[in-house]
């Protein structure tokens, strides 16, 4: 095999290898799922009732997170007229069960684990570690 043919073969191999790379499966919009999150919260017996009542009324089901390839933004319902800021992130690790993503917020980098659950993902939230679910929004 001559040098030109080896170069072509190497380029073809690299092109094929890049085709095997999976797309970033986080890309898209994900909305907080109030019913799934509250079911997880209510399953915890160690959360004070007044805290449960406050969180149930004021928090979950309002946040939409939109991931692009390298940035994400978050918008609360009722604030669509405000242009959301974008923040950098990268996937550090992905398995069939979870993502570990590195975020940067206000100059500080931190990792968080997002657990896959069919068309949703969840993260453990608050000091009680119940699940806050985010489900994919159809485009």
pLDDT of residue 45: 92
Span 130-139, pLDDT tens digits: 999 999 998 6
- pLDDT of 7 above 60: no
The answer to whether 111 and 104 are in contact (CB under 8 A) is: no
At the topology level, CATH places domain 24-136 in: Lipocalin (2.40.128)
Using a 10 angstrom Cβ sphere, with 0-12 exposed, 13-18 middle and 19 or more buried, the burial of residue 117 is: middle
- At residue 115, the 3 state secondary structure works out as strand
Average pLDDT over residues 10-14: 38
Mean pLDDT value of segment 14-28: 61
Mean per-residue pLDDT for 68-84?
Answer: 79
Question: Which residues sit opposite 111 in a β-bridge?
Answer: 102
Among 81-85, 91-95, 102-106, the range scoring the smallest mean pLDDT is 81-85
> What is the per-residue pLDDT for 139?
63
Domain range annotation of the chain: 24-136
Q: Pick the residue with more confidence: 44 or 19?
A: 44
Distances (CA, A) of 57 to 63, 84, 130, 133: 14, 24, 16, 16
What is the predicted pLDDT for the residue at 105?
78
pLDDT at position 3 is: 43
Q: State the average pLDDT over residues 112-124.
A: 96
What pLDDT, on the 0 to 100 scale, is given for residue 80?
60
Q: Which of 17-21, 75-79, 91-95 has the highest mean pLDDT?
A: 91-95
């Amino acid at each position: 095999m001559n040098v030109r043919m080896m170069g072509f073969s190497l380029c073809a191999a690299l092109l094929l290898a890049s085709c095997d790379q999976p797309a970033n499966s986080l890309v898209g919009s994900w909305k907080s799922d109030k019913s799934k999150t509250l079911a997880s919260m209510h399953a915890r017996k160690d959360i004070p009732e007044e805290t449960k009542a406050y969180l149930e009324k004021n928090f979950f089901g309002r946040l939409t997170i939109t991931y692009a390839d390298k940035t994400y933004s978050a918008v609360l319902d009722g604030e669509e007229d405000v242009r959301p800021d974008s923040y950098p992130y990268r996937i550090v690790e992905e398995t069939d069960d979870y993502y570990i993503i590195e975020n940067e917020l206000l100059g500080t980098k931190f990792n968080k684990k997002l657990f896959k659950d069919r068309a949703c993902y969840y993260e453990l939230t608050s000091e009680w570690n119940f699940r806050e679910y985010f489900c994919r929004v159809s485009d």
